[in-house]
Every structure is written in C-alpha cells, then in structure tokens.
Amino acid sequence: MRPLILRHGLSLDGYGSPPAGVPEDFFLEYEDEEFVAHMAEVLGSAGVHAMGSQAYRDMAGHWPFQDGPEAEAMNRIPKVVFSRRPIDTPWATTTVCSGDLVTEVQALKAQDGGPILAHGGVRFAQSLVRADLVDEYHLLVNPVAHGGGGPLFTEFTRLTLVDVKSFPRGNLALTYTRPNPPVA
C-alpha cells in the first residue's frame, strides 16, 4: 500500500490557516533557494497530488502558468480532487472523487505508484487527520505567529518526529509519522 503524506503549512503558534485579514501569500517572503529546492523534491516525489476543491481551483489557476522545478512537479504529476459538487478540471490528468473520503482514499492507497501527497486547505487536511488516513505529516512551519486562524489538529493526536530541516529565512520542515502501537 502506498502512503498518504499530508503536506501542510503551520504558523509558529500552530495554526493551519491564517485568520481573516492575513494575505494568503504571506509566506512568500520566507522562501529561499534551499526551501524551494526542498519543496520541489517533496512535490516531485508524489505519485499523485490529492486536494480539496478550493485548493485545486487555486492551484490550477497558478501552477500551469509558472516555470521551475516546483511547477514542473505540480503540472506533470496526476491530481485527484475531492469534491461533492461538480468541478471544472482544467489540469490534465485530474480525477474527481465524489464519494466517501475514507473509501476513496483507501482505494487510492491500494493502487500501485508513489505516495499520495495531500495538500491544500485546512478543512480538507482536518478531514484526513480526523479519519486517521495520514501516514506521514510534512509540516512546514513559517516564522510567523498568526494569533488565530484555523487549527490543523482538532483533537489529541500523538506523532513521532522523524526529520527536521531548517532553512536560511526561518522556515522549518518537520516530518512526523504516527507512532507504532504500544507493545502488549
């Protein structure tokens, strides 16, 4: 079975989405060459990109018009969009999943191929976390505190840290897995 990796940004104070009034692109000033190379590697390692409908619309309106390794990975790799309503799919190789999230993700996990890289909005990410579908968390911590916003985690969640990378402008890339079940 291929894993589902959740790639999501967080503020220093733990919010997965900024409060109203914070520009959506606040994080761009913290990107540097090392961070962009890291993101290109993460995005390019996916067998499929999975996202909710709003994130899909936002990304389909951005990435096809960009150059560079991040754009190449986003445009080349197939996408799966989860939406209960019909959605235009301008990106090539896009599949729409409109059924039960757990059933659809389990079917994706059972397919051959590279990891499922889920990213996008906090509501979609929360749904994956609540349903216990995430095998690995790639959390990108930006050097800002929002003071409010939407949390990624809405209930107690235990994780195991497996990797930390820091970048010159203050970003951190934290990789976590779910802990192994306790030995009886």
Q: What is the CATH number of the domain that holds 138?
A: 3.40.430.10
Instruction: Please list the pLDDT of the chain residue by residue as tens digits (184 residues).
Output: 999 999 999 999 988 888 888 776 666 677 888 988 999 999 999 999 999 999 999 999 989 999 988 899 999 999 999 998 989 888 888 999 999 999 999 999 999 999 999 988 899 999 999 999 999 999 999 998 888 888 999 999 999 999 999 999 999 999 999 887 555 5
The answer as to whether 140 is a domain residue is yes
Buried b (16+ CB within 10 A) or exposed e, 117-135: bbbbbbebbbbbbeeebbb
Q: Could you write out the DSSP letters of every residue in 28-75? A: GGG--HHHHHHHHHHHHT-SEEEEEHHHHHHHHTTGGG--SHHHHHHH
The answer as to whether 2 is a domain residue is yes
**Which tens digit of pLDDT belongs to each residue from 82-99?**
998 989 888 888 999 999
The answer as to whether 66 is a domain residue is no
| C-alpha torsion 89→41→171→138, nearest 10 | 70
SS3 16: strand
SS3 122: helix
Question: pTM of the predicted model, to two decimals?
Answer: 0.91
The answer as to whether 99 is a domain residue is yes
The answer as to whether 97 is a domain residue is yes
Domain span at residue 97 reads: 1-18+85-173
Count of helices and strands (H, E) across the chain = 5, 10
Q: What is the per-residue pLDDT for 182?
A: 53
What percent of the chain clears pLDDT 90, i.e. is strictly above it?
A: 62
Q: What is the per-residue pLDDT for 26?
A: 65
What are the residue ranges of helices labelled H in the chain?
33-44, 53-60, 69-76, 101-110, 122-130
The answer as to whether 90 is a domain residue is yes
The answer as to whether 48 is a domain residue is no
Angle, helices 69-76/33-44, rounded to nearest 10 degrees? 20
The answer as to whether 129 is a domain residue is yes
Number of domains in the chain: 1
CB 113, CB 50: distance < 8 Å: no
CB 97, CB 82: distance < 8 Å: yes
**Which tens digit of pLDDT belongs to each residue from 103-136?**
999 999 999 999 999 988 899 999 999 999 999 9
